[in-house]
Amino acid sequence: MEHNLKHIEVPSSEITPESLYLSRRDFLKAAGIVSASAFLAACGVASPSVAATPGGPTTVPGWSPVLPTPSAKVPDDAANGTTDELGNPLNTLTDITNYNNYYEFSEDKQEPALLSKNFKTTPWSVTVGGLVSHPKTYTLDDLLKFQQKERIYRLRCVEAWSMVIPWTGFELNLLLNDVQPLSSAKYVAFTTIMDPSQMPGEAGLLYPWPYTEGLRLDEAMHRLTILATGLYGHPLPNVDGAPIRLVVPWKYGFKSIKAIVKIDLTDTQPTTFWNTISPDEYGFYSNVNPNVDHPRWSQATERRIGEVSRRATLMFNGYYDEVASLYTGMDLRANY
C-alpha cells in the first residue's frame, strides 16, 4: 500500500511559488482516490485514469503543467493492457511502425519503415563490459532468458510529439546485476551497431556514428528502465530498434537508443550522439521537463500521434512519483 509520495526539492528557478505547490496527497485525498489507486497499483492492475476525462490530458483545473502531475505506479507487468497507467489509449501498431526517428536509415519519419525492412538482426550479440566483475557477451537468446514483461510507456520525443507504446522487455538492472558493476562504475554507456552497408545513414560524415547514449548508473538500475525486445506481443520491429533497444520513459526519446551491440560501465559521463552534435540543445540528462524549453521551441505541450489537440507535457513525462527522487537537490535547468 505504501506509495512514494515524497517531493523533491525543486530549485526556485524551476517552479512557481511554494503556495501553488499543491501536494499530490492532498490532491488525491480531495479526489478521493488515494486508496483506490494505491490498491490497484499494488495488485499490479492498471489504475483507471487519474484524471476524470478518459484518455484526456491528465491535468485538472488549477494545475499548470509546471506542477508535478498526479500519477499512478506503472504496473510491473501490463500484459494485454489497453491503456497506460494514466488511462491514455495505446497508439496503433501502424503509428508505432510508420512514424519513427532512426537516423541510421533516414532523417525522414516515414522512410525508416521501408529502409529498415531487410535489416539483419540474426545473429545478434550484446557485449557488456567496462567496470564490471563479470564481463560477458550475450546472444539474443541469452537476453530473452531475463524475465520478460509488458510495460506500457509514453514515449515523448524532444521534437514535442509522443506515443503510447506497449513494449515487451526486461529491466536493465537484471543484466547489470548479472555482470556485477564495480564500485567505481558510475555511468552506463550504450552503442548502436555500426554497419554502413545496411544502414545508409552511417555512411554520412556529418554525424558522430555510431549512435551512442548514456545513463547514470542509478538511472540505469531504476525499475522503469528496460531493454525492449518486442512490442504489441511481437518481436521488436526493425524500425523500432530490433532486436534490442533501450527504453527510458521519463527522458526524451533520443535517450532510448536502438539496435544496441555494446554496453559499458564507466566512471566518467559518456559522450553521446546528440549531445556531441548540439550540446546546448540536447543535454546528457534530457529528462522530460515542460518548464525547460528547447532553445528553438517550447516543451510545454506535445502532439500525441493520432490526436488533434495538443496535450500538456508532464514533468518527467508523468513518471514523477517514481523517478523524482533520482534528482533530489539537482538544478534541473542547469542539468538539462
Interface with ligand MTE by CB under 6 A: which residues? 100-104, 155, 157, 192, 211, 240-241, 253-254, 256-259
In the list ligand MTE, Mo ion, none, the entry touching 259 (Cβ below 5 to 8 angstroms by class) is ligand MTE
Q: Name 89's Cβ contacts closer than 8 Å, sequence gap at least 6.
A: 55, 82, 83, 164
Q: Three-state SS string across 104-120, please?
A: CCECCCCHHHHHCCCCC
Q: How far is the CB of 161 from Mo ion (least distance, A)?
A: 8
Amino acid, single-letter form, for residue 202: E
C-alpha cell at 176: 547489470
Distance between CA atoms of 128 and 189, rounded to whole angstroms? 10
Q: How far is the CB of 98 from ligand MTE (least distance, A)?
A: 10
Count of helices and strands (H, E) across the chain:
9, 12
Q: How far is the CB of 263 from Mo ion (least distance, A)?
A: 21
In the list Mo ion, ligand MTE, none, the entry touching 211 (Cβ below 5 to 8 angstroms by class) is ligand MTE
In the list Mo ion, ligand MTE, none, the entry touching 100 (Cβ below 5 to 8 angstroms by class) is ligand MTE
Residue number, 50 or 90, with CB nearest to ligand MTE: 90
Residue number, 256 or 299, with CB nearest to ligand MTE: 256
In the list ligand MTE, Mo ion, none, the entry touching 192 (Cβ below 5 to 8 angstroms by class) is ligand MTE
Residue number, 157 or 226, with CB nearest to Mo ion: 157
Q: How far is the CB of 152 from ligand MTE (least distance, A)?
A: 14
Coil, strand or helix at 275: helix
In the list ligand MTE, Mo ion, none, the entry touching 284 (Cβ below 5 to 8 angstroms by class) is none
Q: How far is the CB of 109 from ligand MTE (least distance, A)?
A: 9
Of 124, 238, 132, residue with least CA distance to 175: 132
- Tell me which residue has its CB nearest to ligand MTE: 253
Give me the residues that bind Mo ion (CB under 5 A), please.
101, 157, 253-254
Instruction: Assess contact for 258 and 273: CB atoms under 8 A.
Output: no
Instruction: Assess contact for 47 and 92: CB atoms under 8 A.
Output: no
Instruction: Assess contact for 194 and 165: CB atoms under 8 A.
Output: no
Q: How far is the CB of 209 from Mo ion (least distance, A)?
A: 17
| Dihedral angle over CA of 205, 206, 208, 214, nearest 10 | -150
Residue number, 48 or 306, with CB nearest to ligand MTE: 306
